[in-house]
């Protein structure tokens, strides 16, 4: 697209946080390959890496784990809003509203020092999963499960959501999901966060903007749409026909295509493997088999690869996460990247204000109301 539509190919910021090679299907966080991180890192290490641009040593890791574990309980004012939001708002609207509402109640609310902004970043990262889990418990009239500081971010979320300690494999798989979603260069929500921060607005405002952008089906909302499609298809034998018809009528298939990757998204490779593992382990291969068939058909008809959202949908479902929480769960991970990008933006700030190509009428004379047709 040579006309700059969608800012394709435009370098909007310098960043040391992550990088993508769209031709080769590679993604790095601060120079570390996502495949290696998915294999070995924990989400807590990723949070440290994205913010400090180095992997933590043992004591640094203990420190960030403790900081995150200590900051999980939302402010009383936000807690008081949750029952109403659980009744009235869809999950991403709840998250957007709760994060915005927490701003004046944050202990560092108006402090724009570097140290305070970092504390707010950690606090926000710690609190997102609690908001999502409490919301779900409220709407199902179930007792709230307070955060367990002895558990990792991943295991604690599954605990607060389900009221049961996740087995080691499920906790590890969810931890990998958090790692895979934590950052992705200048995606729409990260860019929205940076645009907001570049006006020197506060980090809560930037997170609110980011959540708002992630909500859309062309971005984070795609994972939910993927699962609804899998459910609608219902069985493997119907997948090819369904997808062929959809593509024939020029509709997009959610969970496919990417602005930057022209080959397989490296996160999809890991997620496909985990979806298969879970399908085998649970003895419920249906969703995985439908997904495989969708993938083959989209490749045959359009030559397009799956992105991060495609197999994430099945993985989240196998982990017992309700479908409409898939996008908020994405946010529980991406908040690490968003907050790191906001700090990077503040550190070397210039207002983000792109140019435009005007396509309206030439300058013309004002017409008084009485003379208009
Ligand atoms: C991610 C996305 C928004 C990128 O958009 P983009 O870079 O603006 O690409 P375009 O929408 O211009 O697509 C380019 C071409 O690929 C096709 N295409 C892209 N994604 C497609 C999809 N998911 N299904 C079918 N066709 C798709 C477009 O129809 C277009 O084809 P054409 O040139 O024949 O008209 C787009 O691929 C999409 O809408 N995917 C589905 C939503 C999704 O999964 N989002 C999560 C992203 S991680």
**Do 176 and 273 reside in the same domain of the chain?**
no
Domain membership of residue 292 (yes or no) is: yes
Task: Judge whether 256 and 195 are in contact, CB under 8 Å.
Answer: no
Question: Ligand 1: which residue has its CA nearest to atom 13?
Answer: 257
Question: Ligand 1: which residue has its CA nearest to atom 32?
Answer: 250
Domain membership of residue 27 (yes or no) is: no
Task: Judge whether 299 and 307 are in contact, CB under 8 Å.
Answer: no
**Do 71 and 202 reside in the same domain of the chain?**
yes
Q: End-to-end CA distance of the chain: give it in Å, rounded.
A: 39
Copy the structure tokens of residue 294.
Answer: 């969708």
- Check the CA dihedral 319-323-328-331 and report its sign: positive
Domain membership of residue 5 (yes or no) is: no
Residue-wise pLDDT tens digits, 35-79: 999 999 999 999 999 999 999 999 999 999 999 999 999 999 999
Residue-wise pLDDT tens digits, 159-196: 999 999 999 999 999 999 999 999 999 999 999 999 99
**Do 212 and 226 reside in the same domain of the chain?**
no
Task: Judge whether 275 and 318 are in contact, CB under 8 Å.
Answer: yes
**Do 249 and 150 reside in the same domain of the chain?**
no
Domain membership of residue 21 (yes or no) is: no
Residue-wise pLDDT tens digits, 336-373: 999 999 999 999 999 999 999 999 999 999 999 999 99
Residue-wise pLDDT tens digits, 205-235: 999 999 999 999 999 999 999 999 999 999 9
Domain membership of residue 47 (yes or no) is: yes
**φ, ψ at 27 (rounded to 5°):** -140, 135
Task: Say yes or no: CB of residue 253 within 6 Å of ligand 1.
Answer: yes
Strand order in the sheet with 26-29: 18-21, 26-29, 32-33
CATH number of the domain at 84, please: 1.10.580.10
Q: What is the DSSP string of 25-36?
A: TEEEETTEEHHH
Question: Ligand 1: which residue has its CA nearest to atom 28?
Answer: 252
Closest CA to 248 of 290, 292, 293, 297: 297
Task: Judge whether 48 and 64 are in contact, CB under 8 Å.
Answer: yes
Q: Please check the confidence at residue 1 and state whether its pLDDT lies above 60.
A: no
Residue-wise pLDDT tens digits, 106-160: 999 999 999 999 999 999 999 999 999 999 999 999 999 999 999 999 999 999 9
Q: Which atom of ligand 1 is nearest to the CA of 226?
A: 44
CB count in 10 Å sphere of residue 6: 10
Calculate how far, in angstroms, residue 258's C-alpha sits from the geometric centre of ligand 1.
6
Average pLDDT score over the chain: 96
**Do 65 and 207 reside in the same domain of the chain?**
yes
Task: Say yes or no: CB of residue 252 within 6 Å of ligand 1.
Answer: yes
How many Å apart are CA 106 and CA 28, to the nearest integer? 32
Domain membership of residue 82 (yes or no) is: yes
**Do 49 and 196 reside in the same domain of the chain?**
yes
Q: Please state the pTM of the whole predicted model.
A: 0.95
**Do 309 and 342 reside in the same domain of the chain?**
no
**φ, ψ at 97 (rounded to 5°):** -70, -45
Q: Please check the confidence at residue 200 and state whether its pLDDT lies above 60.
A: yes
**Do 176 and 96 reside in the same domain of the chain?**
yes
- pLDDT band of residue 297 (cuts 50, 70, 90) is very high
Calculate how far, in angstroms, residue 257's C-alpha sits from the geometric centre of ligand 1.
5
CATH number of the domain at 290, please: 1.10.230.10
**Do 264 and 150 reside in the same domain of the chain?**
no
Angle subtended by helix axes 326-347 and 168-181, to nearest 10: 40
Residue-wise pLDDT tens digits, 243-252: 999 999 999 9
Calculate how far, in angstroms, residue 304's C-alpha sits from the geometric centre of ligand 1.
9
Whole domain around residue 78: which residue ranges? Answer: 33-216+328-347
3-state DSSP call for residue 19? Answer: strand
Q: Specify the pLDDT at position 4.
A: 78
- State how many domains the chain has: 2
How many Å apart are CA 297 and CA 190, to the nearest integer? 31
- pLDDT band of residue 3 (cuts 50, 70, 90) is low
**Do 248 and 125 reside in the same domain of the chain?**
no
Domain membership of residue 370 (yes or no) is: no
**Cα separation values, 28 from 16, 106, 330, Å:** 10, 32, 18
Q: Specify the pLDDT at position 366.
A: 98
3-state DSSP call for residue 256? Answer: strand
How many Å apart are CA 354 and CA 368, to the nearest integer? 34
**φ, ψ at 29 (rounded to 5°):** -100, 115
Q: Select from 25, 188, 243, 252 the residue to mutate for testing ligand 1; criterion: most ligand atoms less than 8 Å from CB.
A: 252
**Do 207 and 301 reside in the same domain of the chain?**
no
Query: Residues 126, 92, 161, CA angle at the centre, nearest 5°?
Result: 55
Question: Ligand 1: which residue has its CA nearest to atom 20?
Answer: 257
Task: Say yes or no: CB of residue 254 within 6 Å of ligand 1.
Answer: yes
Q: Are strands 32-33 and 18-21 parallel, antiparallel or unpaired?
A: unpaired
Catalytic residue numbers? 258, 309
Residues in the chain: 373
- pLDDT band of residue 2 (cuts 50, 70, 90) is low
Task: Say yes or no: CB of residue 22 within 6 Å of ligand 1.
Answer: no
Domain membership of residue 18 (yes or no) is: no
**Do 138 and 63 reside in the same domain of the chain?**
yes
């Amino acid at each position: 697209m040579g006309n700059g539509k969608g800012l394709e190919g435009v370098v909007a910021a310098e960043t040391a946080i992550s990088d993508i090679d769209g031709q080769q299907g590679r993604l790095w966080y601060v120079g570390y390959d996502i495949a290696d991180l998915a294999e070995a890192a924990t989400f807590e290490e990723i949070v440290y890496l994205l913010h400090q641009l180095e992997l933590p040593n043992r004591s640094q890791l203990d420190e960030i784990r403790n900081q995150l574990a200590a900051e999980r309980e939302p402010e009383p004012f936000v807690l008081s809003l949750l029952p109403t939001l659980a009744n009235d708002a869809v999950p991403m609207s709840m998250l957007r509203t709760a994060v915005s509402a927490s701003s004046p109640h944050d202990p560092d609310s108006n402090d724009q020092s570097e140290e305070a902004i970092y504390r707010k970043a950690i606090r926000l990262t710690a609190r997102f999963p609690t908001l999502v889990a409490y919301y779900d418990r409220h709407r199902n009239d179930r007792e709230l499960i307070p955060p367990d500081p002895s558990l990792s971010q991943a295991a604690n979320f599954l605990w607060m959501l389900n009221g049961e300690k996740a087995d080691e494999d499920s906790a590890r798989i969810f931890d990998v999901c958090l790692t895979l979603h934590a950052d992705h260069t200048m995606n729409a929500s990260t860019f929205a966060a940076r645009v907001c921060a570049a006006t020197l607005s506060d980090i809560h405002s930037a997170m609110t903007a980011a959540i708002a952008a992630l909500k859309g089906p062309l971005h984070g909302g795609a994972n939910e749409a993927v699962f609804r499609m899998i459910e609608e298809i219902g069985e493997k034998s119907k997948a090819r026909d369904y997808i062929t018809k959809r593509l024939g009528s020029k509709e997009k298939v959610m969970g496919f295509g990417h602005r930057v990757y022209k080959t397989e998204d490296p996160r999809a490779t890991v997620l496909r493997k985990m979806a298969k593992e879970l399908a085998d382990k649970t003895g419920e291969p249906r969703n995985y088999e439908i997904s495989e068939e969708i993938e083959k058909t989209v490749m045959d008809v359009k030559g397009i690869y799956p992105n991060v959202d495609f197999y994430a949908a099945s993985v989240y479902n196998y982990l017992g996460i309700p479908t409409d929480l898939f996008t908020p769960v994405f946010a529980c991970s991406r908040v690490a990247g968003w907050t790191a990008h906001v700090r990077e933006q503040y550190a070397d700030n210039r207002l983000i204000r792109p140019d435009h190509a005007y396509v309206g009428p030439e300058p013309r004379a004002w017409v008084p109301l009485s003379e208009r047709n």
